[in-house]
Amino acid sequence: MPKRTDIHKIMVIGSGPIIIGQAAEFDYSGTQACMALREEGYEVVLVNSNPATIMTDTEIADRVYIEPLTTESVSRIIRQEYPDAILPTLGGQTGLNLAMSLSQTGILEEFEIELLGTKLEAINQAEDRELFKELMTKLDEPIPESKTVSTTEEALAFAEEIGYPVIVRPAFTMGGTGGGLCDNKEQLAEIAANGLDLSPVTQCLIEKSIMGYKEVEFEVMRDSADNTMVVCSMENFDPVGIHTGDSIVLAPTQTLSDREYQMLRDVSLRLISALKIEGGCNVQLALDPHSFNYDVIEVNPRVSRSSALASKATGYPIAKMAAKIAVGLTLDEIKNPVTGTTFAEFEPALDYVVAKIPRWPFDKFPRANRKLGTQMKATGEVMSIGRTAEEAIQKAVRSLEIDENDLISPEAQKATDEKLEEKLVHAQDDRLFYIAEAFRRGYTLDEVNELTKINHYFLDLIKHITELEIEICKHPNDKDILRKVKRYGFSDATIAKLWNTSAENVRTFRKEAAVLPTYKMVDTCAAEFESQTPYFYSTYDSENESIRTSKESVLVIGSGPIRIGQGVEFDYATVHSVKAIQKLGYEAIVMNSNPETVSTDFSISDKLYFEPLTLEDVLNVIELEKPTGVIVQFGGQTAINLAADLQANGVKVLGTKVEDVDRAEDRELFDQVINNLGLKQPIGKTATTQEKVIETAEEIGYPVLVRPSYVLGGRAMEIVNNENELNDYLEQNVKAAIDHPILVDAYLEGRECEVDAICDGKDVLLPGIMEHIEHAGVHSGDSMAVYPPQSFSDAIKQQIVDATKKLAVTLKCVGIMNIQFIIHNDDVYVLEVNPRASRTVPFLSKITGIEMAQVATKVILGKSLADLGYESGLYPESKSIHVKAPVFSFSKLEDVDSYLGPEMKSTGEVMGSDHTFEKALLKAFAGAKMELPLSGSVLLTIDSRDKNVVLPLAKKFSQIGYRLFATAGTASFLNDNGLHVKQVNKIGEEGGNRIDILQLIRAGKAQLVINTMGHDQEVTSDGFTIRQTAIEHNVPLITSLNTAEALAKALENRTFATDVMK
């Protein structure tokens, strides 16, 4: 069927900020969809609140709105744009939920707007547990015995009936937020109550547990002519019980016989047909490992995280095809973009194995509960491709960029047998390493299967790896062994560890022995047809298919998995760098390991290598491609950390020289630079032993800021006020102290700001200054920020510009750098320099219209700023105001303190733009889900040191029309100052006929919690408990008074004054 001509303008809804359960994959799918729709000649209106995305680039859609994804805000856009249709299936759960609420307001009917892709009825059928159950019953498809409940009592009664364990699945929550497995009454009561609270419709499904079943996923597509097909099947390494987003996944399915595979394929196709989805859909199934019995777990009637993975795993661009189907094209008339010769109606055949491993944030949150269950906790994921499953798994492990680079984990080796077994039974992020350790200790496949319920076939992959370790150990410098183990994905570094030598020696030996990687193409068809896909992976086989072209090329290193501190912003910069390289006439080659991103869409670059970003893997590609040089400035800390080693291996690192990078990152060298330039910085010292740290702190004077050197997103950074706190800090960060020196800085009070500067060695362009809303002490990634600065005088700005220029030129920056400043007593102090693109690059690029990563790339490749039409200095400020607000995923992570400090905790960000600061603020808060009603109550739980500061703030809230609640101290202080504050009891305090803080929050009586009780960060402390309770009950929480002031300012602006006549 040809595409529809009755619609012209289509609105695409993005997925908003990155949070756990909804990450960069929707930037990838949204970007693809917008491009596909425009390719077909439709006018595309895009709305997304996340500025850090490629999809919000003005060239991706005809009209881009970076506005909050709320019904109100999107309705406003609809009233201006009059779209004919909305495509809601590419913006994740956010997009679907928004489409549903828009429809409820009646605006879709009013404007005669059609929903493309999935009809409302289908969304409801797939998302509403009862309707889903009805549909399954009608189709005669089995689902686990279950019941939807609206109260905890109902939940308990039903569990009594079907027996424990049961699973709680709250309705309409993202990534299964608030759900969990319950073994008994107590757990169920707790989890069900929480789940009901989080569900926007106060519904939970209580479900019989099918733990231990194989978990299988099918990515299926359907068009309006009811043609259906499977793009990819996937099998979870971990059986049912762990959220699929937290499971290790292999594709295609590995342990299903054809009969089982075809049975589940039939089910998946029946479901997509029954739901009449026009586009892509994800079906999750559970298969009994001992019979043909299966259950349908869930259906996602939209493009999902799994579909992004499936697209990268097969090469088949699901989102692009889904968008084309949504406008009426059918699969048999769309060409398969991979082969260019066959049609989109084609089930890909793989001739490799794909492994996905989630990337969890527990390195940043050492106190978090690491147990895996039905609530997803990973922030990102890595994918790898190999010709053996062992190879795929080992490559994925070293792509994770965690402490372990292989399955030999010192932590696991130290564990007692008892602890090891506990780790096997209760899955955490590190279970894989303990499985390997169990085999090293002689556990049998049956024993490990008994403990983990993981399939024997999968377990044997790990066992095989451990057996190969022994073989490697036994045969040092044996070429045959080397050749053999390379096929199973052993890195040079791991082999070096086992041979007691250096990775460099192994590399040299390996090259002498001619054991070299070959690169194979991902072509959707297992080589049956010729294709031209520039998409490769390494393996140790006989034929290499990746042929170097005669064109000069430049290699860009991506940023790996999404994690806290290194998010989608760096993918944005990577993609822009690629574009600039191409514009200058080079071939752009990308290496990356993250399946969720735009940069790993093979149509973005001239050549894509889906590879781990380790020295060995990068050098291998370089040796094959012999690029003119490598660009490391855009892939975050991942890429920049490779720079020195690459240079040591004779690779040309383009842009700022490695020695100069070092001068910015090495403390002592940097101090020299600052001193020579006559700039100011907080006094800072380096110490390598615990004693020395304490001594230094005393010398500088408390409070001091302590952190390990070479940090990523402020890992393990803390402000300490006295020696006790310092001792605590050192205890928790022993590892950091051993690996790297500890930095001790004076902690200055003041406003922070940051700049990104592009320098060609001579001229320095500052696209803009971003002023942080929160004062020093909150990590720049977690603070709200505003452009242009609202409280800096021209003189301060001039100081900032001058300092930036001096630093850029002196550090011989060629390309881009980021500098953080603090303004203390009208003086500008330099906090740190990052000799690479920072997370503010997309934000500032969008605001100023300067495509910063592109300009920087062109400079790196030899252009001058003058060539490119830019003058040195601060770029003229725009009239409109833009506010960045961080977004957190605390509700997904147990035992993580939400108190903001120098350690970064946010997972994403939104932007609010308007003509006044207050309106921009209000939009940023709305985008970050901090929407407050016109009136309500604020609970103030304030650290005693903040009492004096809180008075004006409390007054403001009171004037806006908010009631105030506080505990005795704060309440009497504020009441004494003429405010009406209702006193509540402290936690556990009784008497006075008052409820306590937690009861107040639980009863939904506070619409906002302001909590600055920061220095009691123990999990058991009151401050922590209050914050946790607010998050559990979805009550907006603010932990910095600066943020609260900004919020009050924003709210004030939308409130009428109530002045008495005089």
List helix spans (H) across 928-1035: 947-960, 968-976, 997-1002, 1022-1032
Q: What tokens does 1061 get?
A: 């006549």
**Is the distance from CB of 593 to CB of 609 less than 8 angstroms?**
no
Burial class (CB in 10 A: 0-12, 13-18, 19+), 319: buried
Nearest approach in angstroms of CB 490 to other proteins is 15
241 is in an annotated binding site: yes
Tell me if 722 is assigned to a ligand binding site: no
748 among annotated binding-site residues: yes
User: Nearer Cβ to other proteins, position 255 or 878?
Assistant: 255
Q: Which is nearer to other proteins, 486 or 1002 (CB)?
A: 486
Q: How far is the CB of 317 from other proteins (least distance, A)?
A: 17
Q: Which two tokens stand for residue 538?
A: 């390494």
Give me 948's structure tokens: 């004096």
Asked whether residue 121 is marked as a ligand-binding residue, the answer is no
Q: How far is the CB of 54 from other proteins (least distance, A)?
A: 31
Rounded to the nearest whole angstrom, what is the least distance from the CB of residue 353 to other proteins in the complex? 6
The percent of the chain in helix, strand and coil, each rounded to the nearest 5, is 40, 20, 40
Residue 219 is labelled as binding a ligand: no
- Furthest CA-CA distance within the chain: 95
Residue 469 labeled ligand binder: no
Q: Is 780 known to sit in a ligand binding site?
A: yes
Nearest to other proteins of 539, 804 (CB atom): 539
Task: Give the nearer residue to other proteins in terms of CB position, either 82 or 292.
Answer: 292
Q: 499 and 476 in contact (C-beta within 8 Å)?
A: yes
**Residue 1034, CA distances (Å) to 60, 196, 339, 363, 931 in order:** 34, 11, 48, 25, 11
Does residue 690 have a known ligand-binding role? no
Residue 834 marked in a binding site: yes
Cβ proximity to other proteins: between 268 and 845 the closer is 268
Cα–Cα distances in angstroms (integers) from residue 118 to residues 113, 126, 149, 224, 919, in the given order: 14, 10, 27, 11, 35
| CA–CA distance, 467 with 42 (Å, rounded to integer) | 57
Bridge partners of 588, per DSSP, are 554
Pairing of strands 353-359, 814-824: unpaired
**Measuring CA to CA, how many Å separate 1002 from each of 464, 549, 1032?**
51, 64, 9
CA-wise closest residue to 725 among 750, 711, 706, 709: 706
Give 520 or 607: the residue with its C-beta nearer to other proteins: 520
Q: How far is the CB of 543 from other proteins (least distance, A)?
A: 4
**Is position 300 annotated in a ligand binding site?**
yes
Choice between 344 and 693, CB closer to other proteins: 344
CB of 518: closest distance to other proteins in angstroms?
8
Whether residue 215 is annotated as binding a ligand: the answer is yes
823 annotated among ligand-binding-site residues: no
Q: Please state the closest distance from residue 612 (CB atom) to other proteins, in A.
A: 19
Please report how close the Cβ of residue 227 comes to other proteins at its closest, in angstroms: 5
- Counting other chains too, the contacts that 502-506 makes at CB distance below 8 Å and 24 or more residues apart are 503/615, 503/616, 506/482
Minimum distance of other proteins from residue 412's CB (angstroms):
22
284 is in an annotated binding site: yes
The answer to whether the annotation marks 655 as part of a ligand binding site is: no
Q: Does 265 belong to an annotated binding site?
A: no
Task: Give the amino acid at 844.
Answer: L
Q: Cβ 464 to other proteins, closest distance in Å?
A: 6
Distance in angstroms (rounded) separating the CA atoms of residues 910 and 842:
11
Give the residue carrying structure tokens 């906090």: 831
What the block records as the tokens of 991 is: 């008497």
Nearest approach, Cβ of residue 449 and other proteins (Å):
9
Q: Residue 775 annotated as binding?
A: no
Query: Kind and range of the H or E element at 161?
Result: helix 152-162
- Over the Cα atoms of the chain, what is R_g? 28
User: Does a cis peptide bond (omega within 30 degrees of 0) precede residue 741?
Assistant: no
Residue 129 counted as an annotated binding residue? yes
DSSP for 991-1022, please give it: -TT--BHHHHHHTT--SEEEE---S--STTSH
Nearer Cβ to other proteins (215/298): 215
The annotation status of 1004 as a binding-site residue, yes or no, is no
Of 199 and 314, which CB lies nearer to other proteins in the complex structure? Answer: 314
Would you say 530 is a known binding-site residue?
no
Q: Which two tokens stand for residue 695?
A: 């001594």
Q: Which is nearer to other proteins, 1 or 1019 (CB)?
A: 1
3-state DSSP of 497-564 = HHHCCCHHHHHHHHHHCCCCCEEEECCCECCCCCCCCCEEEEECCCCCCCCCCCCCEEEEECCCCCEC
Contacts to other proteins by CB under 8 A: 225-227, 229, 252-259, 261-262, 265-266, 289-291, 331-332, 341-343, 345-353, 387-389, 445, 455-457, 460, 464, 518, 520, 525-530, 541-543
Listing from the earlier edge strand, what are the strands of the sheet with 166-170? Answer: 146-149, 204-208, 166-170, 180-182
N- to C-terminal Cα distance for the chain?
73
- For other proteins, which is the closer residue by CB, 386 or 1014? 386
Taking the least distance from each CB to other proteins, the nearer of 523 and 897 is 523
Q: In what order do the strands lie in the sheet with 587-592?
A: 518-521, 535-539, 607-610, 587-592, 553-557, 629-631
Q: Cβ 881 to other proteins, closest distance in Å?
A: 54
- In the complex with other proteins, the residue whose CB is nearer, 124 or 255, is 255
Gap between the Cα atoms of 756 and 769, Å rounded: 8
- Residue 427 annotated as lining a ligand binding site: no
Q: What is the DSSP string of 436-477?
A: HHHHHTT--HHHHHHHH---HHHHHHHHHHHHHHHHHHHSTT
Query: What is the closest distance, in whole angstroms, from the C-beta atom of residue 297 to other proteins in the complex?
Result: 20
- Smallest distance, other proteins to C-beta of residue 463, A: 8
Burial category of 187 from C-beta neighbours within 10 Å (exposed 0-12, middle 13-18, buried 19 and up): middle
CB of 527 to other proteins, least distance (A): 4
Q: Which residues does 786 contact at the CB level (< 8 Å), separation at least 6?
A: 770, 771, 773, 881, 882, 883, 884, 917, 920, 921
The answer to whether residues 253 and 233 touch, using CB atoms and an 8 Å cutoff, is: yes
Taking the least distance from each CB to other proteins, the nearer of 290 and 1062 is: 290
Give whichever of 247 and 696 is closer to other proteins, judged by the CB atom.
Answer: 247
Annotated binding site for Mg(2+): 284, 298, 300, 820, 832, 834
Annotated binding site for Mn(2+): 284, 298, 300, 820, 832, 834
Annotated binding site: 129, 169, 175-176, 208, 210, 215, 241-243, 284, 298, 300, 707, 746, 748, 752, 777-780, 820, 832, 834
Annotated binding site for ATP: 129, 169, 175-176, 208, 210, 215, 241-243, 284, 298, 707, 746, 748, 752, 777-780, 820, 832
